[in-house]
Homo-oligomer: A and B are copies of this chain.
Amino acid sequence: MQLINASIITIGDELLIGQTIDTNSAFISQELNKIGIWVHHRLAVGDDWDEIWNALDEESRNSEIIILTGGLGPTADDITKPLLCKYFGGQLVLNEKVLEHIKYLFEKVYLRSGPLLESNKKQAEVPDTCTVIPNLRGTAPGMHFQKGGKSFFSLPGVPAEMKGLMTEEVLPWLKNHFELPAIVHKTFFTAGQGESFIADKIKDWEASLSPNIRLAYLPAYGMVKLRLTAKGENATDLENQMIPYVEKLKDLIKDYLVAEEDVPMEVVIGRILKSINKTLATAESCTGGYIAHLITSVSGSSQYYKGSIVSYANEVKETVLGVKRETLKTSGAVSEETVLQMISGVIVKLNVDYAIATSGIMGPDGGSKEKPVGTVWVAVGNKKKTVTKQFHFRFDRERNIQQTSMYALNMLRKFILADLQPNNL
């Protein structure tokens, strides 16, 4: 079986002056890796004719597949399309289908009145040597070229558009076009322990893995995802080969295992709540609505999520959630007493089965000797019972908000699961 090499070329001065962090390459690499294509080069070049031209020469020398992103916007500094036209021969022609789509977007979606701008019309021009890849999400179409037996894909740099084209068009084409090795991925989502702790716990198991099975750590705030990748000739054989390894791993990490797939915590919570037909609300101070955002980022969350009281000001904790003024005076907003009262307040106010409450000092300002930045109280509960926990984070404000939210959701998950055990309450 041939080993397929790929290169990713990201185009744009904004990458070279560091204005943009390139997340596209990571996504493309992951997706190609999943189907058994090895990205051996990632290159970023500016909006510069020679740089792009040389990159195409250079990368196509060692790769079967070259994926370009960026440089397709309507603005003047984009030279990619004329260059591709020259590089692959042919000439720019107006593609009626693309033009129709652009008109549709401007009239029906962007609701722009008046005629199309020249710069937008130009986006409908594509080299007649390419196969157009329709971009449902934007005005710049994707383009597919073939040269010297190599496949070139030019995709817009807007992440949502690039992802759409990769998922719906490029990956399916690659799967059909190449004889790729069988790849089986299994992801195990753990929460509550750091990467090094997990690594130490499973190091003997990891050493025992057969050579065609690789383990990758995918750490994120408050969670660690373990991905097993098996490569071989036949998917079923790989599945069977993995069974004993998977069983052993699940046993080793059972206390931290959230899901046996790569799925966000908020989706796991949603499934649990739907399955038991219960409702949830949140009372957020320091997380400032981020937990609500995570939960409502899941389509269909209105089935189990009623809302959040983002009580950023103490006044709101008092007037809306009914936290006692006395408590705020004596124990302060960042205290166990306060989050306990926030829980009972929001459960009654929003009439739900379960609730989460958060209060803390996210920094960089607002810390004190007794309550330094990173001090956080979280409570989860129902009408009968509440569990509280204090955390001491460091890091920056953004990380504190994300970690608090992740830990709070995991606390809720454990609370509900325990709540479902008959003898547990």
Whether A74 and B195, one on each chain, are in contact in the complex, defined by CB atoms closer than 8 angstroms, is yes
Whether A397 and B297, one on each chain, are in contact in the complex, defined by CB atoms closer than 8 angstroms, is yes
Judge whether A210 is part of the interface by a CB distance below 8 angstroms.
no
17 A-B interface contacts by CB (under 8 A): A15-B26, A15-B29, A16-B39, A17-B30, A18-B26, A18-B29, A41-B44, A73-B195, A75-B217, A288-B293, A288-B301, A296-B312, A301-B312, A305-B312, A306-B312, A316-B350, A319-B351
Taking the full assembly, how many copies of this chain does it contain? Answer: 2
> Which residues in A have some Cβ–Cβ distance to B below 8 Å?
13-23, 25-31, 33, 38-46, 48, 51, 58, 73-77, 108-112, 117-120, 137, 139, 158, 160, 194-197, 199-200, 203, 206, 214-219, 227, 229, 282, 284, 288-293, 295-297, 299-302, 305-313, 315-316, 319-320, 349-351, 362-366, 374, 392-399, 401
Whether A307 and B296, one on each chain, are in contact in the complex, defined by CB atoms closer than 8 angstroms, is no
Chain B contacts of A217 at CB under 8 A?
Answer: 19, 73, 75, 77
Assuming the contacts A313-B306, A395-B160, asked whether A21 and B14 have C-beta atoms less than 8 A apart, the reply is no
Assuming the contacts A195-B74, A215-B77, A310-B308, asked whether A17 and B33 have C-beta atoms less than 8 A apart, the reply is yes
Whether B288 and A296, one on each chain, are in contact in the complex, defined by CB atoms closer than 8 angstroms, is yes
Whether B309 and A307, one on each chain, are in contact in the complex, defined by CB atoms closer than 8 angstroms, is yes
Whole-angstrom distance between the alpha carbons of A244 and B17 in the complex?
25
Known: A17-B33, A160-B395. 6 other contacts (CB 8 A): A14-B216, A74-B195, A109-B393, A158-B219, A160-B398, A308-B310
Whether B41 and A43, one on each chain, are in contact in the complex, defined by CB atoms closer than 8 angstroms, is yes
Query: Which of A15, A40, A112 counts the most B-chain CB atoms under 10 A from its CB?
Result: A40
The 6 tightest CB contacts between A and B, nearest first, are A288-B296, A289-B292, A289-B289, A18-B30, A18-B29, A42-B44
